């Protein structure tokens, strides 16, 4: 998917699907909104009561530009809210559903901080519209486990100190959970590959690998240079 | 779940105060329950965004303030300037009721700029481009006296902190008071700074920063985004959310400045350096200072040295801010590669040359361990390999100072035996929370499970900002003192009731003992309290019994493979040996070391802010074109927590990031036989180096002999 979030100034409007602001700059959000129209058709059936929805002659249902009622299923619970159709799933979760585990980091699918499971598959929630998630099962890190009832993966993450600042951790846990769902005993290369879309700035990858290995019932990585050395330093 | 990476356990077992303690907020972070400043989202709050200059230098021709204000949802447009001196420079801000209305307001504002000529790098400075100045007479004669002269130029790029949580704050009105949820490394700095913009006295402000999504030195001040948020909160009286977006984060929240370093030195055939002159040029963007580099570091003997010759070079880019060991990784890269180049010229093993030039006893022992763990004996002579994949080994070193600041830690003992450790300082991911809890638990003699830690609020006892690696060293003496006070209070009560001598009582794993005899459980002793008792340990920022002895020194060794067809460098293993006085919590300390190595590897291979030399626009102000190391690039890392008989707690955050890039650059030199004197070690640079002749030797090596034999 192309991405056009670079600042543009003064480009005249070319987006016929919107125009609410009387300002037609082709922004990424308008772009998303445009391509979201066809994908949101199914979702739109549920929106028929919405006064802002209208039928285009070609047959596609157009939602917006005014705020539209949106219904999502987040971590097994239904959530209802009214938002502009251009609202991304990430914005909807964080700003409408009070689900702040998924983080807004790059807002263009480069870092994995906003990863959620959509019908059990990991997606960057910053890159899809909330409306396109209608009728689908959305699970965030909060749905994987809680402090009182954590998933074994989350326990292993804490146990192996697979985090420092922790801002990437929800996305990492979510991607790793998806990996374990499709591959219950991943090897270290498979773990590295599955997490290659999740950036961690503090630098905790080796601990993450070990947490995922142990959460899947495997031994943690045997470091290559272990020689049974016990006490370095002057205390020997 | 309690399995450990075996090798780490073996190497670091018994090296810390709390070997098996797990990060206290670990589950909160792993389940998404941890709330950061950026997560403080209210339905009704105002959004703030700065109006920024799109070019390296530009003047504002026009903007349509009325149109912006007429945009539904826009509540305020403040314009305070008409020119920008760098991409991301700000001239005002817009306040709106929603993210979307804010975006529309900025579009409606339709700022039109005229781009002006600009400078975009250190090489725009004439003296940086020109030849070296003559050394002083003393240095010149030292160089003349040496058998050989060596001259080279090194450079490092601009690195951005790239904290995953962007800079900013959320301000919430609370009656007459304000609660400021800040992403900051300095709880009390924010409390001091924000009032001016909020129009409130400090006593009316509470700063909350329970969790912070990275800072790395860039989050000490409230910044423009914080100031604009404060002003908007003042004028509206409403809740305000003012955070940078990702692009702004890369443009205008500081960086590790680039360095250009010219060196001339004289050395003898055995590698002894007789005299040297270093000239450094630091790129400070629009800032007047902050471009300094620590080179030479003082760790190695360079003979007669010229006084520091540093020049900060201004150009049209965002200014630097402290970044994890400011000035040090770039200085270490120059200095350590230089030493390896001298060693090669003289046919010496660079580890042996370091042993001769370095007078730290501790690092001498670390060299042995690093060489053993990395497999230094397998290192081929520099430039001796052929074929596509070539392996190299390299070493780097570090040290760090003993900075300290005043700090207080309060411990509240509850009648149920629960202990509450209270400290206003922040945990930016270093494990500060866990370290304080574990230290108090250890001082008293109770399990960590008895302890909770309240942290990151200006309403809690004051402590330093997380910078200069002073936070843990400064709060640790206060925590030790507080733990001892709490222990003595409880033991005094027990002694009085049981008619025992308090000085003979001890506490072991939550049980109060008298000699070998159990007296009472900690919880039962506390039950006698009619109300919670509070004690406060204080560190005055100077030496005290609790400050103790200790220093932070380190040696790292790297093993790389270089693909000589593609120019790609793969960092395979890094051994990172680090002393930090008395290590507190093994797991978080290992994480700190590993994090330093990973950031250092990322700096060595990938990171580089790119400015368009024509327009001054930053071309990679995002996370897909500004590349940071990911899971598939991550080397295997053995963090070794060094511990000897030191009793004082010392710096750990910064030192491990210093040697990594240097060690990797040396390993690449070893693999391909040519030094790459510019970071990052991009494939094009590796390939360009391979097209050059092999690095020169000035001391003949007889055919068929190894470096070792030559020297003997």
- In chain B, domain spans: 38-116+167-243, 259-401+550-711, 407-539
The pLDDT-based confidence of B2 (bands split at 50, 70, 90) is very low
> What is the structure's pLDDT at A48?
40
Using one digit for the tens of pLDDT, what is the confidence trace for A81-123?
999 999 999 999 999 999 999 999 999 999 999 999 999 999 9
CA-CA distance, B688 to A87, in Å (whole number)?
48
Is there a domain that residue A163 lies in?
yes
Structural domain count, chain A: 2
User: What top-level class would CATH report for the domain B259-401+550-711?
Assistant: alpha beta
Residue that is last in its domain, among A106, A123, A143: A143
The pLDDT-based confidence of A41 (bands split at 50, 70, 90) is very low
Is there a domain that residue A230 lies in?
no
Averaged pLDDT, B559-580 = 97
* Other residues' Cβ atoms within 10 Å of the Cβ of residue B484: 18
> What is the structure's pLDDT at A224?
43
The pLDDT-based confidence of A220 (bands split at 50, 70, 90) is confident
Q: List the single residue in A with minimal CA-CA distance to B375.
A: A225
Averaged pLDDT, A155-169 = 97
Taking each continuous run of H as one helix and of E as one strand, the counts in chain A are 8, 7
CATH number of the CATH domain containing A76? 3.10.20.30
Using one digit for the tens of pLDDT, what is the confidence trace for A27-40?
545 444 443 443 44
Identical fold for domains B38-116+167-243 and B407-539, yes or no, is yes
Residues A127 and A157 in one domain: no
pLDDT at B645 over 50: yes
CA-CA distance, B96 to B240, in Å (whole number)?
10
Query: Do the chains contact at A106 and B623, CB–CB below 8 Å?
Result: yes
- Torsions phi, psi of B559, nearest 5? -120, 125
B451-455 sheet: strands from edge to edge: B451-455, B419-423, B407-413, B533-539
Residues A95 and A127 in one domain: yes
Residues A178 and A124 in one domain: no
pLDDT at B8 over 70: no
Residues A185 and A115 in one domain: no
Is there a domain that residue A192 lies in?
yes
Residues A117 and A33 in one domain: yes
Find out whether B684 and B357 touch, Cβ atoms under 8 Å.
no
Burial class (CB in 10 A: 0-12, 13-18, 19+), A1: exposed
pLDDT at B33 over 60: yes
Residues A167 and A209 in one domain: yes
> What is the structure's pLDDT at A24?
37
> What is the structure's pLDDT at B395?
98
- In order of A222, B11, B591, B596, B638, the CA distances from A226 in angstroms are 8, 8, 18, 21, 9
Residues A99 and A138 in one domain: yes
Residues A103 and A189 in one domain: no
Residue of A39 and B31 predicted with greater confidence = B31
CATH number of the CATH domain containing A201? 1.10.150.120
**Residues in B touching A228 (Cβ below 8 Å):** 10
Neighbouring-strand partners of residue B208: B181, B457
Neighbouring-strand partners of residue B637: B574
Neighbouring-strand partners of residue B400: B552
- In order of A28, B5, B298, B316, B655, the CA distances from A221 in angstroms are 42, 6, 38, 47, 26
Burial class (CB in 10 A: 0-12, 13-18, 19+), B516: exposed
- In order of A40, A67, A94, B641, the CA distances from A33 in angstroms are 10, 13, 19, 52
Neighbouring-strand partners of residue B640: B577
Q: Which of B175, B177, B172, B205 is nearest to B189 (CA)?
A: B205
Is there a domain that residue A228 lies in?
no
> What is the structure's pLDDT at A38?
38
Stretch (H or E) spanning B514: strand B511-514
Find out whether B571 and B558 touch, Cβ atoms under 8 Å.
yes
To the nearest whole angstrom, how far is the Cα of B42 from the nearest Cα of chain A?
7
> What is the structure's pLDDT at A57?
56
Q: Domain of A40?
A: 28-46+66-143
Cis peptide before B426 (omega within 30 of 0): no
User: What does the DSSP 8-state code read for residue A94?
Assistant: I
| Fold for the domain defined by B38-116+167-243 | Aldehyde Oxidoreductase; domain 4 (3.30.365)
The pLDDT-based confidence of A232 (bands split at 50, 70, 90) is very low
Is there a domain that residue A14 lies in?
no
Using one digit for the tens of pLDDT, what is the confidence trace for B140-164?
999 999 999 999 999 999 999 999 9
Query: Do the chains contact at A147 and B216, CB–CB below 8 Å?
Result: no
Using one digit for the tens of pLDDT, what is the confidence trace for B358-385?
999 999 999 999 999 999 999 999 999 9
> What is the structure's pLDDT at B340?
98
B505-508 sheet: strands from edge to edge: B505-508, B511-514, B517-521
The pLDDT-based confidence of B3 (bands split at 50, 70, 90) is very low
Find out whether A110 and A93 touch, Cβ atoms under 8 Å.
no
Burial class (CB in 10 A: 0-12, 13-18, 19+), B136: middle
Sequence-distant (≥ 6) Cβ neighbours of residue B681 within 8 angstroms:
B569, B604, B605, B664, B665, B668
- In order of A72, A129, A140, A195, B11, the CA distances from A200 in angstroms are 29, 25, 18, 10, 25
Stretch (H or E) spanning B51: strand B46-52
The pLDDT-based confidence of B593 (bands split at 50, 70, 90) is very high
Average pLDDT, chain A: 78
* Other residues' Cβ atoms within 10 Å of the Cβ of residue B467: 23
The pLDDT-based confidence of A63 (bands split at 50, 70, 90) is confident
Least confident stretch, B476-480, B542-546, B556-560: B542-546
E strand intervals along A110-172: 115-118, 121-124, 137-139
**Residues in B touching A145 (Cβ below 8 Å):** 31
Task: Determine which of A25, A158, A218, A222 to mutate to test the interface with B (most B C-beta atoms within 10 Å).
Answer: A158
> What is the structure's pLDDT at A30?
44
- Torsions phi, psi of B679, nearest 5? -95, 155
Task: Determine which of A140, A165, A197, A231 to mutate to test the interface with B (most B C-beta atoms within 10 Å).
Answer: A165
**Residues in B touching A156 (Cβ below 8 Å):** 1
> What is the structure's pLDDT at B704?
44
E strand intervals along B222-341: 240-243, 259-267, 273-285, 304-305, 309-314
**Residues in B touching A167 (Cβ below 8 Å):** 36, 163-165, 213-214
Find out whether B184 and B229 touch, Cβ atoms under 8 Å.
no
Q: Which of B12, B557, B7, B590 is nearest to A223 (CA)?
A: B7
SS3 content of chain B, % helix, strand, coil (to 5): 35, 25, 40
**What is the CA angle B649-B395-B429, rounded to 5?**
40
> What is the structure's pLDDT at B15?
87
3-class DSSP state of B468: coil
Length in residues, chain B: 712
Using one digit for the tens of pLDDT, what is the confidence trace for B332-366?
999 999 999 999 999 999 999 999 999 999 999 99
The pLDDT-based confidence of B544 (bands split at 50, 70, 90) is confident
Of B2, B246, B645, the CB nearest to A105: B246
Query: Do the chains contact at B632 and A227, CB–CB below 8 Å?
Result: no
> What is the structure's pLDDT at A14?
35
3-class DSSP state of B540: coil
Residues A123 and A206 in one domain: no
pLDDT at A5 over 80: no
Secondary structure (DSSP) of B401-455: ------EEEEEEE-TTS-EEEEE-S--SSSSHHHHHHHHHHHHHT--GGGEEEEE
Using one digit for the tens of pLDDT, what is the confidence trace for B292-310?
999 999 999 999 999 889 9
**Residues in B touching A142 (Cβ below 8 Å):** 31-33
> What is the structure's pLDDT at A47?
44
Q: List the single residue in B with minimal CA-CA distance to A102.
A: B32
CA-CA distance, B14 to B647, in Å (whole number)?
14
Residues A35 and A136 in one domain: yes
pLDDT at A59 over 90: no
Residue burial B268-295, b: 16+ Cβ < 10 Å; e: rest? beebbbbbbbbbbbbbbbebeebbbbbb
3-class DSSP state of B595: helix
Average pLDDT, chain B: 95
CA-CA distance, B161 to B602, in Å (whole number)?
11
Residue burial B69-90, b: 16+ Cβ < 10 Å; e: rest? eebebbbbbbbeeeebbbbbbb
> What is the structure's pLDDT at B85?
98
To the nearest whole angstrom, how far is the Cα of B590 from the nearest Cα of chain A?
9
> What is the structure's pLDDT at B543?
82
Query: Do the chains contact at B30 and A150, CB–CB below 8 Å?
Result: yes
pLDDT at A11 over 50: no
Tell me, yes or no, if B214 comes closer than 8 A to chain A by beta carbon: yes
pLDDT at B128 over 50: yes
Find out whether B89 and B644 touch, Cβ atoms under 8 Å.
no
> What is the structure's pLDDT at A229?
41
Query: Do the chains contact at A29 and B103, CB–CB below 8 Å?
Result: yes
pLDDT at B703 over 70: no
Which numeric CATH code is attached to B407-539? 3.30.365.10
Q: Which of A203, A183, A202, A201 is nearest to A193 (CA)?
A: A183
Find out whether B598 and B637 touch, Cβ atoms under 8 Å.
yes
Stretch (H or E) spanning B65: helix B65-70
User: What does the DSSP 8-state code read for residue B317?
Assistant: S
What is this model's ipTM? Answer: 0.95
Residues A35 and A112 in one domain: yes
Residues A121 and A199 in one domain: no
Report the DSSP pairing between strands B58-62 and B83-84: antiparallel
Find out whether A202 and B466 touch, Cβ atoms under 8 Å.
no
pLDDT at B21 over 80: yes
> What is the structure's pLDDT at A37?
40
Using one digit for the tens of pLDDT, what is the confidence trace for B434-466?
999 999 999 999 999 999 999 999 999 999 999
* Other residues' Cβ atoms within 10 Å of the Cβ of residue B166: 26
Residue of B283 and A5 predicted with greater confidence = B283
Using one digit for the tens of pLDDT, what is the confidence trace for B492-534?
999 999 999 999 999 999 999 999 999 999 999 999 999 999 9
- In order of A35, A36, A37, A38, A234, the CA distances from A56 in angstroms are 15, 15, 11, 12, 79
Find out whether A36 and A85 touch, Cβ atoms under 8 Å.
yes
């Amino acid at each position: 998917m192309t991405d056009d979030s670079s600042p543009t100034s003064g480009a005249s409007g070319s987006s016929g699907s919107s125009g609410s602001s009387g300002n037609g700059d082709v922004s990424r959000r308008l772009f998303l909104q445009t391509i979201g129209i066809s994908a949101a058709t199914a979702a739109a059936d549920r929106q028929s009561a919405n006064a802002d929805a209208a039928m285009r002659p070609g047959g596609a249902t157009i939602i917006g530009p005014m705020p539209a009622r949106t219904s999502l299923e987040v971590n097994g619970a239904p959530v209802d809210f009214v938002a502009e159709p251009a609202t991304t799933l990430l914005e909807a979760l964080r700003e409408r559903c009070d689900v702040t585990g998924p983080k807004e980091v790059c807002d263009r699918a480069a870092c994995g901080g906003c990863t959620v499971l959509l019908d059990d598959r990991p997606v960057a929630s910053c890159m899809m519209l909330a409306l396109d998630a209608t009728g689908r099962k959305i699970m965030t890190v909060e749905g994987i486990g809680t402090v009182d009832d954590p998933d074994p993966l989350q326990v292993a993450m804490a146990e192996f100190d697979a985090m420092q600042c922790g801002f990437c951790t929800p996305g990492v846990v979510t991607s790793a959970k998806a990996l374990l769902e499709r591959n219950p005993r991943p090897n270290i290369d498979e773990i590295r590959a599955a997490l290659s879309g999740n950036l961690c700035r503090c630098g905790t990858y080796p601990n993450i690998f070990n947490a995922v290995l142990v959460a899947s019932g495997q031994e943690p990585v045997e470091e290559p240079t272990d020689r049974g050395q016990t006490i370095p330093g002057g205390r020997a | 779940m309690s399995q450990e990476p075996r090798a780490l356990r073996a190497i670091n077992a018994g090296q810390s105060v709390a070997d098996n303690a797990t990060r206290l907020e670990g589950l909160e972070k792993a389940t998404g329950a941890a709330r950061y400043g950026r997560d403080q989202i209210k339905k009704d709050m105002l959004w703030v965004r700065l109006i920024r200059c799109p070019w390296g230098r530009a003047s504002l021709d026009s903007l349509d303030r009325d149109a912006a204000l007429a945009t539904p949802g826009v509540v305020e447009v403040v314009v305070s300037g008409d020119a920008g001196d760098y991409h991301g420079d700000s001239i005002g801000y817009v306040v709106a009721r929603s993210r979307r209305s804010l975006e529309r307001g900025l579009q409606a504002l339709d700022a039109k700029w005229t781009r002006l000529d600009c400078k975009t790098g250190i090489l725009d400075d004439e003296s940086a481009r020109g030849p070296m100045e003559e050394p002083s007479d003393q240095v010149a004669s030292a160089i003349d006296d040496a058998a050989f002269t060596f001259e080279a130029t090194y450079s490092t790029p601009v690195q951005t902190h790239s904290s995953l949580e962007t800079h900013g704050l959320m301000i919430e009105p609370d009656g007459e008071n304000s609660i400021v949820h800040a992403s900051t490394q300095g709880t009390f700095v924010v409390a001091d700074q924000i009032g001016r913009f909020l129009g409130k006295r400090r006593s009316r402000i509470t700063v909350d920063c329970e969790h912070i999504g990275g800072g790395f030195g860039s989050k000490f001040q409230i910044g423009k985004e914080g100031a604009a948020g404060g002003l908007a909160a003042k004028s509206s009286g409403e809740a305000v959310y003012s955070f940078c977006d990702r692009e702004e984060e890369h443009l205008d929240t500081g960086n590790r400045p680039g360095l250009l370093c010219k060196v001339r030195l004289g050395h003898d055939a055995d590698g002894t350096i007789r005299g040297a002159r270093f000239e450094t040029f630091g790129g400070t963007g629009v800032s007047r200072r902050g471009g300094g580099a620590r080179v030479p570091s003082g760790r190695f003997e360079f003979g007669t040295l010229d006084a520091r010759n540093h020049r900060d070079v201004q150009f049209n880019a965002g200014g630097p801010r402290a970044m994890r060991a400011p000035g040090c990784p770039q200085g270490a890269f120059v200095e350590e590669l230089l030493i390896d180049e001298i060693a090669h010229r003289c046919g010496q093993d660079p580890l042996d040359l370091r042993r001769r030039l370095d007078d730290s006893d501790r690092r001498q022992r670390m060299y042995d361990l690093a060489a053993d763990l990395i497999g230094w004996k397998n290192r081929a002579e520099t430039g001796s390999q052929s074929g596509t994949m070539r392996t190299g080994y390299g070493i780097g070193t570090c040290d760090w100072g003993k900075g300290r600041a005043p700090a207080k830690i309060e411990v509240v003992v509850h009648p149920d035996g629960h202990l509450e450790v209270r400290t206003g300082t922040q945990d930016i991911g270093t494990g500060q929370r866990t370290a304080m809890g574990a230290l108090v638990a250890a001082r008293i003699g109770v399990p960590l499970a008895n302890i909770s830690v309240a942290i990151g609020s200006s309403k809690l006892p004051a402590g330093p900002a997380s910078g200069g690696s002073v936070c843990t060293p400064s709060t640790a003496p206060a925590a030790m003192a507080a733990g001892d006070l709490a222990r003595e209070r409880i033991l005094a009560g027990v002694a009085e009731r049981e008619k025992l001598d308090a000085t003979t009582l001890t506490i072991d794993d939550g049980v109060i003992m008298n000699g070998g005899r159990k007296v009472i459980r900690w919880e039962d002793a506390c039950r006698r309290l009619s109300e919670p008792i509070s004690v406060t340990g204080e560190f005055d920022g100077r030496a005290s019994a609790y400050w103790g002895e200790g220093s932070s020194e380190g040696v790292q060794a790297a093993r790389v493979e270089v693909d000589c067809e593609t120019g790609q460098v793969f960092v395979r293993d890094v051994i990172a040996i680090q002393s930090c006085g008395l290590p507190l919590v093994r797991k978080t300390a290992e994480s700190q070391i590993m994090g330093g190595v990973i950031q250092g590897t990322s700096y060595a291979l990938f990171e580089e802010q790119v400015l368009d030399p024509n327009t001054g626009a930053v071309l990679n102000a995002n996370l897909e074109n500004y590349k940071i190391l990911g899971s598939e690039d991550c080397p295997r890392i053995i963090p070794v927590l060094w511990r000897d008989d030191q009793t004082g707690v010392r710096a750990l955050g910064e030192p491990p990031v210093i040697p990594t890039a240097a060690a990797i650059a040396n390993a690449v030199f070893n693999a391909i036989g040519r030094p790459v004197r510019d970071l990052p070690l991009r494939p094009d640079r590796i390939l360009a180096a391979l097209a050059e002749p092999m690095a020169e030797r000035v001391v003949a090596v007889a055919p068929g002999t190894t470096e070792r034999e030559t020297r003997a």
